[in-house]
Amino acid sequence: MSDNTFISTDDTRTLFSQAMSAMYQKEVPQYGTLLELVKEVNTHVLSQDGTIRRQLGDTGQLNRLDVERHGAIRVGTPLELATLRRLFAVMGMMPVGYYDLTVASVPVHSTAFRPVEEAALAANPFRVFTSLLRLELIEDDALREKAAEILAQRAIFTPSCLKLIEQFEENGGLTPEKAQEFVDEALFTFRWHHEATVDEKTYDSLRKAHPLIADVVCFKGPHINHLTPRTLDIDLAQSRMPQHGITAKETIEGPPRRVCPILLRQTSFMALREPIFFKNQDSGGGTHTARFGEIEQRGLALTKAGRALYDELIAQVREMTRGVNKDMYATVYQDALNKAFEQFPDSFEILRNQGLGFFYARVNHDTLAAKPAIAAQTWDELVEQGYIRFDPITYEDFLPVSAAGIFQSNLGSENTEKDYKLVSNQAMFEEALGMKVRNEISVYAELERNSKLDALKILGLSAD
Ligand code: OOG
Ligand code: NI
């Protein structure tokens, strides 16, 4: 079979993310409302703000905005995680980054499956935050063994799905027809199931150990627990939520509002307390909170130095808000955040000059046509003379502290203050995954480097 009979992994990813969005809209109607709100806000921002419109256009993000989503799932065993790695590869998604959530009392570690190349990101940056339960953190031996036993019995992928993954791996691609079949089959894994696979007593004891353990262990599969659209103005979206009947959490996670957005800002709301049915139970049942709503605004990807400064300022905010009582918290937090981030430059030019963020180098073809004999020696001179423009590279990943805040605000309040003794264990996660995760900073560095090499080539200059 020749290569051009295969659909691109980008197209399979788009088919899948659209199918997942349609499925989630049916499962969680409020998600549909959220999509409308985000669309309304984005249309408003694009009509008001020419700079954002140009920047998104120049970095290939105008088209992707409408399809841009991230989802999240949680799995229970190394085999489930490793098979997900193979499933996501069919859609051109690689594991990027390692997140240790035990620091926030959540017994999982995670990665994000996402595309990494510039063209693939422009086509559709669909990402799935994927967590693996750390069973070893359940202290009670009997309960831990019981959880492992329950997980060992389930099969979260359909046989056809597994077969299509194998076909992809053997042939190096799927035909459009097979890709559609793959999407339908893969979707099964992420569906919500009202029937728990355990009886009420087992559910309760696992839930008591940690609500997340019950969420992972007691169902047929790793239901998608949220699907997040990207807004261009999260404050505006948040302020319009009540008009749409949505009550968001009080504070927005991540950096404060800025002229030049950095990293990621997120807010979420409880979506559903869903009725569930237990095994061996004819009537009644219980409820489970698994699914929620979330929106996010994305900004500049930071270099190692930029990220270190961000982490330092967030630590300062934590100091400033320690012990503040609940009623005052949102206000004090907001002030502390604004105050601390005065130390983070808020101009793209300064951020670039200080090496705090990553940027795409773009050639201005008009300048090149008007002045083809280039005398500039440095990047700064190329910028000054109008040959080159630097546009911010968007952060495509997650923030563990935000993720923890999101986890906690949606699990229900009971019993989530655990002091887990085990330290982060990337090696153990990678062994389960079956490969190493890509370091996110090096992914952005490569995007920047490639754009510079391309630009130099267009300008007819050498790369040294
Ligand atoms: C994942 C939470 C992390 C985010 O946006 O930070 C996440 C989960 O609740 O499973 O999606
Ligand atoms: Ni999320």
Which value does ipTM take for this structure?
A: 0.99
In sequence order, what are the residues at sequence separation of 6 or more whose Cβ sits closer than 8 angstroms to the Cβ of residue 82? Answer: 432, 433, 434
* 148 φ/ψ sector (left φ>0, alpha ψ -120 to 50, else beta): alpha
Summarised one tens digit per residue, pLDDT across range 90-125 is: 999 999 999 988 877 889 999 999 999 999 999 999
pTM, two decimals, is 0.94
Coil/strand/helix, residue 132: strand
Summarised one tens digit per residue, pLDDT across range 255-308 is: 999 999 999 999 988 767 888 989 877 667 888 888 889 999 999 999 999 999
Extended beta strands in 345-387, E state? 359-363
Residue nearest to atom 4 of ligand 1 (CA): 403
Which ligand is nearest the CA of 400, by number? 1
Summarised one tens digit per residue, pLDDT across range 183-198 is: 999 999 999 998 999 9
Residue nearest to atom 7 of ligand 1 (CA): 403
Using the predicted structure, report yes or no on whether residue 414 has a pLDDT greater than 90.
Answer: no
What mean pLDDT is predicted for residues 351-361?
Answer: 97
Instruction: Tell me how far apart the alpha carbons of residues 392 and 61 are, in angstroms, rounded to a whole number.
Output: 11
Which ligand is nearest the CA of 110, by number? 1
Helix H or strand E encompassing 192? none
Summarised one tens digit per residue, pLDDT across range 36-94 is: 999 999 999 999 999 889 888 888 888 888 889 999 999 999 999 999 999 999 999 99
Starting from the edge strand earliest in sequence, which strands make up the sheet with 127-133, in order? Answer: 94-100, 108-114, 127-133, 69-75, 226-229
In sequence order, what are the residues at sequence separation of 6 or more whose Cβ sits closer than 8 angstroms to the Cβ of residue 189? Answer: 87, 156, 157, 158, 161, 221, 222
**Ligand 1 site-directed mutation target among 406, 408, 409, most atoms within 8 Å of CB:** 406
Instruction: Tell me how far apart the alpha carbons of residues 208 and 218 are, in angstroms, rounded to a whole number.
Output: 13
Instruction: State the pLDDT confidence band at 415, using cuts at 50, 70 and 90.
Output: very low
Summarised one tens digit per residue, pLDDT across range 308-318 is: 999 999 989 98
| Radius of gyration of the chain measured on its C-alpha atoms | 23
Count of positions (residues) in the chain:
464
Which pairs from 1-6 meet CB under 8 Å and 24+ separation? 1/171, 1/175, 3/172, 3/173, 5/173, 5/175, 6/171, 6/172, 6/173, 6/174, 6/175
Which ligand is nearest the CA of 99, by number? 1
- Class of residue 129 by CB neighbours under 10 A (exposed 0-12, middle 13-18, buried 19+): buried
- List the alpha helices (DSSP H) in 131-253: 141-153, 159-171, 176-189, 200-209, 211-217, 234-240
Expressed in angstroms and rounded, the spacing between residue 70 Cα and the centre of ligand 1 is: 9
Using the predicted structure, report yes or no on whether residue 8 has a pLDDT greater than 70.
Answer: yes
Sign of CA dihedral 162, 167, 172, 177: negative
Instruction: Tell me how far apart the alpha carbons of residues 311 and 400 are, in angstroms, rounded to a whole number.
Output: 11
DSSP string, 163-191: HHHHHHHHHSS--HHHHHHHHHHHHHHT-
Cα 421 to Cα 106, 111, 138, 399: the distances in Å are 12, 21, 11, 22
Q: Confirm if 363 and 336 have CB atoms less than 8 A apart.
A: no
Write down all domains in the chain, each with its CATH number in brackets.
3-298+396-433 (3.10.180.80), 302-346 (no CATH), 359-392+440-464 (no CATH)
Residue nearest to atom 1 of ligand 1 (CA): 72
Report pLDDT for 322. Answer: 86
**Nearby residues for ligand 2 (ion, Cβ within 5 Å):** 228, 294
